[in-house]
């Protein structure tokens, strides 16, 4: 696809009922030119992560329709899950993919935020690059205490007031966080233990906020359905902190508790470059460059080369 391409990864607070999730996805894909890159629902997290891409205006329209459907179908007062959340449509980031800047994505986030408030009466917080206050760059600050605390504190504590809309939660849909950020890798590592404290301790060791890797956000999560603990990771810059380095650190820390890594999962999409880097690390390549990947070279010669 030539021209502008933006990614949007709305997170919805429903990971168990296929009818609800399907309805939300269908609403978004009703917008022409919007492609579904990925969808992933997790019953333990009770959350679905949908990855869309397309031209900016079409993606904003799709995101709005998804939020609208989530507000209609999801009742947050009955929602339980292992992943923190404050809204039926919990968080909606825009990510530049092609021919778009992060500033463009900030404008898309603001446009979507205004529409969510004016049409759905859900108050909106702006985060990451779209944040209007420095403490809201960090999603965790906005989501502290989750929906239940936010519903009590909004309107009472000025610091918890939304960026767009009146300071009162939507009765069933809570609030929504909208923003713009760079591409991140969401990666979960499953541990061979039901002790969530082990996962939480490891998360604390590796994350930036408590002195770990600069590009890592992380928390321990319990996967009740599998009776095992998970280190849930957001890696915001895999070129700076490679995925394989984080993985090896988790493996090493887990071994201190006599615990093994039993598996891992990618949530959403992963750049090929992160996989190339990991393969090169584990296979001990001495000479690896992206130019050695066949597909990268074929793409590069899409115009005939002729004499160099």
86 or 198, CB closer to its own copies? Answer: 198
Q: Does 54 bind its own copies (CB under 8 A)?
A: yes
Kindly write out the interface string for residues 116-155 of this chain, putting x where it contacts its own copies by CB under 8 A and - elsewhere: ----------------------------------------
Q: How far apart are CA 114 and CA 109, in angstroms?
A: 9
Q: How far apart are CA 127 and CA 138, in angstroms?
A: 7
CB within 8 Å of 140: residues ≥ 6 apart: 209, 217
Tokens at residue 178, please?
Answer: 């909208």
Stretch touching its own copies by CB under 8 A, among 100-108, 123-131, 145-153, 283-291 = 283-291
Q: Does 158 bind its own copies (CB under 8 A)?
A: no
15 or 113, CB closer to its own copies? Answer: 15
How far are the Cα atoms of 109, 122, 127, 128, 191 from residue 115, in angstroms, in the given order?
A: 10, 9, 16, 19, 41
Instruction: Determine whether 83 is an active site residue.
Output: yes
Q: Catalytic: which of 45, 79, 83, 170?
A: 83
Q: Does 97 bind its own copies (CB under 8 A)?
A: yes
Tokens at residue 104, please?
Answer: 């463009």
16 or 244, CB closer to its own copies? Answer: 244
Judging by beta carbons within 10 Å of its beta carbon (0-12, 13-18, 19+), is residue 146 exposed, middle or buried?
middle
Stretch touching its own copies by CB under 8 A, among 101-109, 126-134, 153-161, 243-251 = 243-251
In the set 77, 98, 118, 210, which binds its own copies (CB under 8 A)?
98
In the set 1, 157, 224, 255, which binds its own copies (CB under 8 A)?
1
Q: Does 37 bind its own copies (CB under 8 A)?
A: yes
Q: Does 36 bind its own copies (CB under 8 A)?
A: yes
Instruction: Judge whether 236 and 217 are in contact, CB under 8 Å.
Output: yes
Task: Give Cα 223 to chain centroid, integer Å.
Answer: 18
- Tokens 């939304």 correspond to 162
169 or 250, CB closer to its own copies? Answer: 250
Q: Can you list the positions of beta strands (E) in 174-227?
A: 176-180, 185-191, 216-223
Within residues 164-193, the interface with its own copies by CB under 8 A covers 183, 190
Q: Does 34 bind its own copies (CB under 8 A)?
A: yes
Tokens at residue 71, please?
Answer: 């507000």
Q: Checking DSSP bridges between strand 89-98 and strand 5-8, what pairing results, if any?
A: antiparallel
Q: How far apart are CA 208 and CA 20, in angstroms?
A: 35
Q: Does 239 bind its own copies (CB under 8 A)?
A: no
Bridge partners of 170, per DSSP, are: 174
Closest CA to 24 of 111, 88, 120, 115: 88
Q: How far apart are CA 21 and CA 36, in angstroms?
A: 13
Q: Does 43 bind its own copies (CB under 8 A)?
A: no
Q: Does 5 bind its own copies (CB under 8 A)?
A: yes
Instruction: Judge whether 208 and 217 are in contact, CB under 8 Å.
Output: yes
Stretch touching its own copies by CB under 8 A, among 61-69, 105-113, 170-178, 298-306 = 298-306
Stretch touching its own copies by CB under 8 A, among 29-37, 191-199, 202-210, 211-219 = 29-37
**CA angle 289–294–299, rounded 5-degree value:** 100
Which residues lie near its own copies (CB under 8 A)? 1, 5, 29-30, 32-38, 53-54, 97-98, 183, 190, 243-244, 247, 261-266, 268-272, 274-276, 278-280, 282-288, 291-298, 301-308
Residues with a catalytic annotation lie at: 83
């Amino acid at each position: 696809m030539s021209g502008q391409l933006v990614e949007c990864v709305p997170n919805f607070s429903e990971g168990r009922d296929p009818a609800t999730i399907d309805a939300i996805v269908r609403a978004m894909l009703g917008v022409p030119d919007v492609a579904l890159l990925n969808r992933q629902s997790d019953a333990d997290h009770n959350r679905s992560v949908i990855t869309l891409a397309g031209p900016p205006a079409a993606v904003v329209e799709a995101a709005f329709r998804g939020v609208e459907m989530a507000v209609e179908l999801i009742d947050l007062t009955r929602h339980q899950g292992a992943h923190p959340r404050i809204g039926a449509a919990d968080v909606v980031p825009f990510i530049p993919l092609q021919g778009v800047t992060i500033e463009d994505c900030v404008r898309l986030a603001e446009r979507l935020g205004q529409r969510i408030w004016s049409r759905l009466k859900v108050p909106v917080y702006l985060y990451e690059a779209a944040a209007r206050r420095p403490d809201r760059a960090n999603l965790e600050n906005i989501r502290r205490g989750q929906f239940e605390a936010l519903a009590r504190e909004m309107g009472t504590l000025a610091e918890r007031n939304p960026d767009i809309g009146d300071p009162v939660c939507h009765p069933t849909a809570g609030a929504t966080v909208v923003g713009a950020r760079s591409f991140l890798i969401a990666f979960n590592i499953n541990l061979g233990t039901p002790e969530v404290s082990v996962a939480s301790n490891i998360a604390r060791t590796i994350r930036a906020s408590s002195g770990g890797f600069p590009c890592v956000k992380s928390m321990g999560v319990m996967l009740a359905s599998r009776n095992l603990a998970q280190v849930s990771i957001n890696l915001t810059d895999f070129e700076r902190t490679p995925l394989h380095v984080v993985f090896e650190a988790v493996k090493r820390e887990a071994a201190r508790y006599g615990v093994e890594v039993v598996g891992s999962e990618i949530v959403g999409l992963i750049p090929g470059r992160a996989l190339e880097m990991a393969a090169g690390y584990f296979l001990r390549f001495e000479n690896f460059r992206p130019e050695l990947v066949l597909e990268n070279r074929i793409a590069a010669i899409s115009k005939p080369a002729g004499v160099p």
